């Protein structure tokens, strides 16, 4: 996930709703169009948008680095099942979506995104949809992902300090316990503020 980087580019100035709609349209096109050339073209377009929006190289590399192991596994599976062409299409498509999402988060402030989600969902109030709660769920999700990654790093450092860096158990069990504890604390804080009382 990218972080917001203030700027004055056209993408920064676009309304969040337009960017969100564009991201959805881009994702649908990437998934719907078959073949490696479309996927590679989509990846080139996403990288071009990142350069146009002046997204920092560190943000892009960080987002792609996090997917590298999954990408290698995905590519190997597709090579085994369907050949190199299918592998190139699958990996390029997912990388294109990651880069496009990074551009979106880097050029859109979280508060603006949440306000847009609330505004889009307001007409659904008669259907008992609470826009503020949906926006809160988005905010919690956006906060939970980097927070869980931080917990994973801290747990790995603690295992390494005890000489257990090769033990999956020494890394996984504390991570799960800490993540569950953090989720419970978040739930208790929301309950204390009356969220969900109705």
24 lies in the same domain as 62: yes
Token pair in block for residue 9: 């580019």
What tens digit of pLDDT does each residue of 37-89 get?
A: 898 899 899 999 998 988 888 877 777 776 777 777 878 887 788 788 888 88
**167 in a structural domain:** yes
Neighbours of 58 (CB within 10 A): 9
What tens digit of pLDDT does each residue of 97-130 get?
A: 988 988 898 898 888 888 888 988 899 889 888 8
Closest CA to 105 of 150, 53, 39: 53
Q: pLDDT exceeding 90 applies to what percent of the chain? A: 9
Given this model, what pLDDT does residue 197 score?
61
List all residues 6 or more positions away from 15 whose beta carbon is below 8 Å from its beta carbon: 116
67 lies in the same domain as 22: yes
Confidence of residue 158 (pLDDT cuts 50, 70, 90): confident
Return mean pLDDT, the chain.
Answer: 83
List all residues 6 or more positions away from 24 whose beta carbon is below 8 Å from its beta carbon: none
Strand, coil or helix: 112? helix
Confidence of residue 24 (pLDDT cuts 50, 70, 90): very high
102 lies in the same domain as 175: no
Mean local confidence (pLDDT), 188-195: 78
Confidence of residue 19 (pLDDT cuts 50, 70, 90): very high
**98 in a structural domain:** yes
Task: Mark which of 108, 139, 165 sits at the end of a domain.
Answer: 108
45 lies in the same domain as 83: yes
For residue 2, pLDDT beyond 60: no
Within 13 Å and on the Cβ side, how many CA atoms surround 46? 29
95 lies in the same domain as 129: no
75 lies in the same domain as 44: yes
**43 in a structural domain:** yes
**156 in a structural domain:** yes
DSSP secondary structure, 24-62, as one string:
HHHHHHHHHS-SHHHHHHHHHHHHHHHHHTT--HHHHHH
For residue 1, pLDDT beyond 70: no
State the total domains in the chain. 2
Confidence of residue 174 (pLDDT cuts 50, 70, 90): confident
72 lies in the same domain as 129: no
Q: How far apart are CA 25 and CA 42, in angstroms?
A: 12
20 lies in the same domain as 78: yes
Is 196:190 a contact under the CB 8 Å cutoff?
yes
Given this model, what pLDDT does residue 196 score?
63
Given this model, what pLDDT does residue 27 score?
93
Beta strands in 44-190 (DSSP E): none
Q: How far apart are CA 39 and CA 29, in angstroms?
A: 9
């Amino acid at each position: 996930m990218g972080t917001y980087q203030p700027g004055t580019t056209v993408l920064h100035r676009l309304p969040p709703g337009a960017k969100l709609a564009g991201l959805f349209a881009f994702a649908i096109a990437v998934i719907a169009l078959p073949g490696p050339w479309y996927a590679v073209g989509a990846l080139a377009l996403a990288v071009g948008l990142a350069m146009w929006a002046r997204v920092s190289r560190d943000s892009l590399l960080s987002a792609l680095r996090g997917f590298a192991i999954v990408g290698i596994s995905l590519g190997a599976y597709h090579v085994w099942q369907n050949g190199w062409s299918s592998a190139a299409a699958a990996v390029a498509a997912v990388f294109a979506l990651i880069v496009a999402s990074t551009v979106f988060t880097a050029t859109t402030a979280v508060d603006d995104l949440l306000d847009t989600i609330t505004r889009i969902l307001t007409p659904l109030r008669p259907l008992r949809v609470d826009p503020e709660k949906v926006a809160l769920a988005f905010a919690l999700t956006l906060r939970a992902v980097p927070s869980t990654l931080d917990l994973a790093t801290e747990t790995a450092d603690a295992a390494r300090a005890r000489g257990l860096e090769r033990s999956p158990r020494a890394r996984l069990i504390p991570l799960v316990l800490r993540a569950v504890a953090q989720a419970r604390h978040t739930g208790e804080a929301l309950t204390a503020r009356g969220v969900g009382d109705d």
